Chains A and B, each alone.
Chain A
Amino acid sequence: MEFFERFMIPHPSFLIYVSMVLIVLVSIALVGVITYFKLWGYLWREWITTVDHKKIGIMYLLMALLMLFRGGVDAIMLRYQLSMPENTFLDAQHYNEVFTTHGVVMILFMAMPFITFFFNFLVPLQIGARDVAFPRLNNLSFWLFFMGAMLFNLSFVVGGSPDAGWTSYFPLADVEFSKSVGTNYYMIAIQIAGIGTLMTGINFITTIMKMRAPGMTLFKMPMFTWSALIANLIVVFAFPVLTVALAMGAMDRLFDTQFFAIGNGGMDMLWANLFWVWGHPEVYILILPAFGIFSEIISTFSRRNLYGYNSMVWSMIVISVFAFTVWTHHFFTMGQGAFTNSIFSITTMAIAIPTGVKIFNWMFTLYKGKIEFTTPMLYAVHFIPLFTLGGVTGVMLAMSAADYQYHNTMFLVAHFHNVIIPGVVYAMLAGLTFYWPKMFGFMLNEKIGKATVWVMSTGFLLAFMPMYITGLDGQARRMYTYSESTGFTTLNMVSFVGAGIMAVSFIMLVWNIWYSFKNSPRNIGSDPWNARGLEWATHTPIPAYNFAITPDITDSTSEAFWDMKHKGTEIFKGDIKKIHMPNYSGVPFIMSCGFFLLGFSLIFSMWIPAIVGLIVVLACMAYRSFEKDHGYYIPEEEVKATEKQYEKRGAK
């Protein structure tokens, strides 16, 4: 019995029990449905073992939407708890757990897979490649990310959720103050997902640097590919810092090392520094691809090329460098002195310059364009003013002297949601709507889509503008309740209503997918938006080999498809030949299961199963070393037959 006690939730509540029952029921139902329709083989052959970047992308998308739901439920619970003074819906401990998981899930398991979905789906198409540089590694990246995310979510029902904030500052996160295994979950689940992300970074840098279509120089790359390149460079240079920090944190908790502990020389501020040396570049990893998506959308629906291509690229490069020089602004009040604070104030404010360049470039693209208000475009034009507002409050927070007033208040919470929601989330949803027909062969309903944007922005403003005010009035973040005499009641209620309206907008999005799946016409061709980039030069649905003939864009600009349509530039030169493709493999999945077992066992300090998990991982690596894997060829006749079918359907 004692063995099982460690898996119990230390602070159970009715809600958690309900969730446990629901999770068990949903799992049984899922297994039942898959078994009933005999889908296990299909899942294994077509999805779990796939190395096709488009399918891996779609799996990332599914994970992102699933996690958006989980993080969203957390958000609603937080706002409901604060909607009334002295509310007893959540107690202090549960509130801590919910804001911790909300942060981790939304940043690492929602936003990260969402941008990785776009990397996977778009980058090879935009550069005219057949797949990524290391397709097998790409599959491993996904499954590591998946196992990390699942492991983290498991904490909710087995052993207890982490409760030290998504930043997990020490000494709070040490065993002395966080006794449950929750923080072990944090240290180890994020580590596993982070290894996957690091490999994604290496994969995409290699893909973009080495696999561009003939004639595509760096400064002819589509803007999203540029943003992906820079974001992945940041990944490769920032994630190892997190790897080390998490390993040290895990060792402090599991093996009693003294890195961040108080006494014996440990230094809690070392964690804060390492965390933010990764953490601040991380937000640029998220926002740069979002900028890339908006650049594609704004130029498409302004019906003109992107204004200031070169300055767009250089501003991203400058942002990526500055990203590593501002981390101290996350803890201005933690005692590094006026001189250091001033330096970091200046570097932080300086980031507003390249970002401002981008904002103006988008506006100059709109200027004198033939603007068409489609759903993706509506997201983009809502993004510009809302994001700018978030940027301006960011500059306010960057002033270290003034920061003593805002630090750890709702003002900060309002600020970072103000950049992340209109920035990243809008970009992801706009991109999803924009590329939906390319992925699934039908359009999302425009009417519902546009209504969704308006509802979402209304909800957003109602939810977060009040927080600026209560924050300036001194409402602290991460406090589970407040008294009526503070006068925060009305504004917090408004916030809760706004959160509810945002939830409605997400339900509308789901409804739109269902409605369009049922009703949208399927004969939309391969270019329903009259778009510009090379990715639209493919058939819909995209064949496994992407391009029958590798595009040659020597004579085109960064908008190769537009040139082809309107200037008649030839990009598909030569004849169809046999196409080399990578083999599918189940080994990465098995290896990721090994990682899951290893991680889970470490969390509960169960050494024997941990060693078993480690052996599975190492055995898979050894197997890979000896494996002969040369891929296979799609014969010329088969490619020609497939192409003919598309022509018959009139897809081109």
Chain B
Amino acid sequence: MAKVDHSVPLEYSTEENDLKIFGFWVFLGAEIMLFGTLFAAYFTLVDRTGSGPSGAEIFEITPVLAETFLLLTSSFTIGLAIHAMRLGSKKATLTFMGITLALGLAFLSVEIYEFLHYVHVGAGITVSAFTSILLTTLGTHGLHVTVGFFWGLFIMIQIAKRGLNPETANKSFIFSLYWHFLDVVWIFIFSFIYLKGMM
């Protein structure tokens, strides 16, 4: 095992851990560009509905609000999980991570329902430039949540098996950064795609 520095939180305690957290921030920089590009494309194509429906015609506030509350709450609970991790409570960490992932799964279920609804009302991904970019932007976010779900699950298994050590703490912390980031992206989706679209 590498040298452990006890003066900093567990997730930062080795040099490797420090590098991984920094590297992940840089990766999030790239992710911001990725979603930024999708948003730029969305704003370009939002009114180009061709023969298909516009956002105002297909958006429904109920599932969108449900998704928003689910994801925002999960961002809160992952914060609690990291707090519990820093206090050294394995059980509480696992509980809060479990709640986070359950909320993530619920979010995905509502989103799948939402996508089926769009296809049902004639707004499938091939209908117009608007529906293409709408479903691609939402889908990219949804895909990130899906990947995050499995990633979080793997980390939970590792914490359960190996306990809280510099490695699992580091993974959990990085996972929390990722999860918060997805939440931030969702806030932009909620404000600029749904709310603006429904106005």
A residues with CB within 8 A of B:
133-134, 198, 201-203, 205-206, 209-211, 236-241, 243-245, 247-248, 251, 255-259, 261, 263-267, 270, 274, 277, 580, 622, 625-626, 628, 630
Contact = CB atoms under 8 A, between A and B. Distances in A.
B112 interface: no
Contacts of A258: 50, 126-129, 131-132
A263 B37 contact: no
Give the interface SS of chain B, mostly helix, strand, loop or mixed: helix
Contacts of B27: 202
Contacts of A238: 33
A580 B51 CA distance: 62
A626 B158 contact: yes
A277 B1 CA distance: 44
Nearest to B24: A202
Given A202-B23, A265-B45, 12 more contacts: A201-B30, A209-B22, A210-B18, A236-B26, A240-B33, A240-B34, A244-B38, A244-B41, A259-B133, A264-B51, A265-B128, A266-B132
B30 A265 contact: no
11 contacts: A134-B23, A203-B23, A240-B31, A244-B41, A257-B132, A259-B132, A264-B52, A580-B2, A625-B155, A625-B158, A630-B1
B129 A266 contact: yes
Interface string B1-18: 110000000000000001
Contacts of B48: 265-267
A259 B150 CA distance: 30
Contacts of A210: 18-19, 22
Contacts of B26: 201-202, 205-206, 236
Interface residues of B, number: 43
Nearest to B46: A265
Contact of B45 (A237, A247, A259): A259
A255 B126 contact: yes
B39 to A, nearest CB: 10
B125 A237 contact: no
Interface string B131-161: 1110010000000000000110011011000
Contacts of A202: 23, 26-27, 30
B21 to A, nearest CB: 10
B148 to A, nearest CB: 12
A628 B158 CA distance: 11
Interface string B32-65: 0110111001001100111110000000000000
Contacts of B37: 240-241, 244-245, 274, 277
B44 A267 contact: yes
Nearest to A624: B154
B154 A626 contact: yes
B29 A265 contact: no
Interface string B87-131: 000000000000000000000000000000000000001111111
Contacts of A240: 30-31, 33-34, 36-37
A243 B26 CA distance: 16
A237 B41 contact: no
Contacts of A206: 19, 22-23, 26
A427 B59 CA distance: 55
Contacts of B157: 626
A264 B31 contact: no
B46 to A, nearest CB: 10
B45 A256 contact: no
Most buried by A among B20, B26, B154: B26
B4 to A, nearest CB: 12
Contacts of A257: 125-126, 132, 136
A136 B38 CA distance: 30
B33 A241 contact: yes
Contacts of A261: 129
Contact of A256 (B23, B126, B171): B126
Contacts of B49: 265
Contact of A625 (B30, B41, B151): B151
Contacts of B132: 248, 251, 257-259, 266
Nearest to B51: A264
Closest 5 CB pairs of A and B: A265-B48, A265-B129, A264-B50, A265-B50, A240-B33
A323 B20 CA distance: 29
